[in-house]
Amino acid sequence: MYTKTILTLAFTASSLLASSLMTDAKNAGLIPIPTDKQELLKLTDNPKNPITAEKIELGKKLYFDPRLSKSGFISCNSCHNLSEGGDDGIPAAIGHKWTANPHHLNSPTVYNSVFFSSQFWDGRDPHLEAQAQGPMQAAPEMAALPEHVEAVVASMPEYVAEFKGAYGKDVKITFEKVADTIATFERTLVTPSAFDDYLNGDENALTKAQKDGLKTFIDKGCATCHNGIALGGEMNAFNITGEYKYQNVGDFKGDANGMVKVPTLRNITQTAPYYHNGQIWDLKDAIIEMGRIQLGASINDKEAASIEEFLKALDGRKADVVLPQLPVSTSKTPKPDIN
């Protein structure tokens, strides 16, 4: 009887501690991806351009189609590879004519970007639809004029038919409509994880080490910036308590107020190198540096390892993305231009 009582008390204490941590996480502003499909749709849908199966499939084709670029070689997936972390795994994005980003900016992940309140490192637009327009036109990226993108899509009967199926027979294929359709596909790239399972009520979804790491994450103040459903995605001041040791790599200084978009921590183990200019490859080093320059906190190796263990719980479950078969080019399809 005595042993049974001790075991019961220990179990009760453990459950209370777990429930307390869950409460602390929610009080720190951490929000799970909802399990209910309708609740999730409220967060991901664009009322001005509602998500439909037809738009998703068409958007996926456009996302993978390199012919939208001037060279005919670069697609959205080139810099936001869905086969891994939704980025390109290199310090600075490489685009048209093998040009590195002139500001030495790292490609952010496209996974869960629907939850970001700010798009681009300088947060210049909140909408995925506007973000989708940027890389296609940027000279060091896809380097395509809107007229080129429209001509490519309109030159293929299969694309024309799919646009009519998605938007109605009177649809006009415009650059903006192409970007909107790509963004519709991107809105579905959501990756729920063990962390979400935990916050949604499954006490056993995280290991003890991950729970300890979550506590360290909260206690050290990491959730001050990395919060919300994306654990990032909003604008915040940078170099608050110290200067980033690689600040001189590239000329990026943030927006007009020195604010920088906080990167999401979802799938963070898959998106090295880290920081806006991709200069830190080791996640533990990135954690320690972040503590120094943003929190004024000395995070030791043990604490950094603990936080890293929690971050592993943010590796999400990705839906299978079947590589689409693209429409065949016609005599009217613009030819690749590598100049």
Q: Can you say how many angstroms the Cα of residue 319 is from the centroid of all Cα atoms in its chain? A: 15
Catalytic residue among 57, 84, 129, 141: 141
- The amino acid present at 301, given as its one-letter code, is D
Give ∠ CA 331-333-337 in degrees, rounded to 5.
115
From CA 255, how far away is CA 54, in angstroms rounded?
37
Q: Active-site residue 129, yes or no?
A: no
Q: Are 68 and 214 in contact (CB under 8 A)?
A: no
Q: Is 80 annotated as a binding residue?
A: yes
Q: Is 156 annotated as a binding residue?
A: no
Q: Is 226 annotated as a binding residue?
A: yes
Q: Is 148 annotated as a binding residue?
A: no
Task: List 228's β-bridge partners, or say none.
Answer: 30
Task: List 125's β-bridge partners, or say none.
Answer: 119
Can you give 101-142 as a three-state secondary structure string?
CCCCCCCCCCCCHHHCCCECCCCCECCHHHHHHHHHHCCCCC
Q: Is 96 annotated as a binding residue?
A: yes
Q: Is 76 annotated as a binding residue?
A: yes
First to last CA, the chain: 83
Q: Are 65 and 59 in contact (CB under 8 A)?
A: no
Task: List 94's β-bridge partners, or say none.
Answer: 100
* Annotated binding-site positions: 76, 79-80, 96, 222, 225-226, 290
Return binding residues for heme c: 76, 79-80, 96, 222, 225-226, 290
| Residues belonging to the active site | 141
